[in-house]
């Protein structure tokens, strides 16, 4: 029997990425587009793991299938870890988020930051597993580049000189927090830690 997993998101980019990563496993990847009546999950956790777990558990319970969910964001050391789990709510669009971050970082000498991604996998029996991927780097003084999304134009990964918005998606996918977490999540699925 082919197993199914539901991605707790309607984001087509995330769905494509997950399908590509799991293409060599016998598993069908569905998303919340297949469950339009699914209840909205409120992301009110104080950690990325908490939010990812909450989403995966609620969707597994609702769909009665294996579910996978992620939560990600940017932590800036000089800001005590902000915007963190509030990354998407920091301002109303990508440009405003970047502008606001640069403004609060004015005169800050320590520019260390990291992107974090937590991915949770849950089955309807409430068995769960959560993994984390991180990429460390620095916040630039000004935005650069047109690729990517979110805070990419102001983030330079350790060992790089270009921002995430100046490197190709292939290159970013080799080192990103999401890629690292996805590889760990795939291992969880392969090891069949969560039998349905
Ligand atoms: P979510 O995990 O889809 O809720 O996204 C959280 C927010 O973190 C996004 O809206 C972005 O602002 C930010 N973020 C997460 N991952 C990245 C990334 O790879 N590049 C830039 N911004 C990111």
Helix (H) or strand (E) holding 17: helix 12-21
| Ligand 1 centroid – CA 90 distance (Å) | 11
Whether 121 and 185 have beta carbons less than 8 Å apart is answered as: yes
Instruction: Measure the CA–CA gap between 69 and 58, rounded to whole angstroms.
Output: 10
Nearest CA to ligand 1 atom 23: 150
Give catalytic status of residue 152 as yes or no.
Answer: no
What residues does 129 pair with on adjacent strands?
121
Burial per residue of 8-45, b for 16 or more beta-carbon CB atoms within 10 angstroms, e otherwise: bbeeeebbebbeebbeeeebebbbbeebeebeebebeb
Residues 16-45 have a mean pLDDT of 92
Residues lining ligand 1, Cβ inside 6 A = 70-74, 87-88, 97, 115, 148-152, 164, 176
| Ligand 1 centroid – CA 145 distance (Å) | 17
Q: What percent of the chain is predicted at pLDDT more than 90?
A: 84
For residue 176, give the ligand 1 atom closest to its CA. Answer: 19
Q: What percent of the chain is predicted at pLDDT more than 70?
A: 96
**CATH code of domain 3-195:** 3.90.950.10
Residue corresponding to tokens 């940017």: 74
Whether 115 and 73 have beta carbons less than 8 Å apart is answered as: yes
Q: In the prediction, which pLDDT does 142 show?
A: 97
Residue 26 has pLDDT above 90, yes or no: no
Helix (H) or strand (E) holding 5: strand 3-7
Q: What would the pLDDT profile of 49-72 be if each residue is shown by its tens digit?
A: 999 999 999 999 999 999 999 999
Closest CA to 115 of 48, 182, 16, 19: 48
DSSP conformation class of 19: H
Q: What would the pLDDT profile of 138-177 be if each residue is shown by its tens digit?
A: 999 999 999 989 999 999 999 999 999 999 988 998 999 9
| Helix 177-190 vs helix 12-21: crossing angle, to nearest 10 | 50
* Mean pLDDT computed over every residue of the chain: 94
């Amino acid at each position: 029997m082919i197993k199914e997993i539901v991605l707790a998101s309607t984001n087509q980019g995330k769905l494509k990425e997950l399908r590509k990563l799991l293409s060599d496993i016998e598993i069908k990847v569905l998303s919340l587009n297949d469950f339009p009546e699914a209840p909205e999950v409120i992301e009110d956790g104080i950690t990325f793991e908490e939010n990812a777990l909450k989403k995966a558990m609620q969707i597994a319970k609702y769909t009665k299938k294996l579910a996978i969910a992620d939560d990600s964001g940017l932590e800036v050391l000089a800001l005590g870890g902000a915007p963190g789990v509030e990354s998407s709510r920091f301002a109303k669009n990508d440009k405003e988020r970047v502008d606001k971050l640069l403004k609060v970082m004015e005169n800050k000498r320590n520019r260390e930051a990291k992107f974090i991604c937590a991915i949770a996998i849950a089955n309807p029996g409430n068995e769960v597993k959560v993994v984390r991927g991180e990429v460390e780097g620095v916040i630039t003084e000004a935005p650069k580049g047109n690729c990517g999304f979110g805070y990419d134009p102001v983030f330079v990964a350790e060992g790089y000189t270009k921002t995430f918005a100046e490197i190709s998606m292939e290159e970013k996918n080799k080192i990103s927090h999401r890629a690292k977490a996805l590889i760990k999540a795939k291992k969880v699925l392969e090891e069949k830690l969560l039998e349905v």
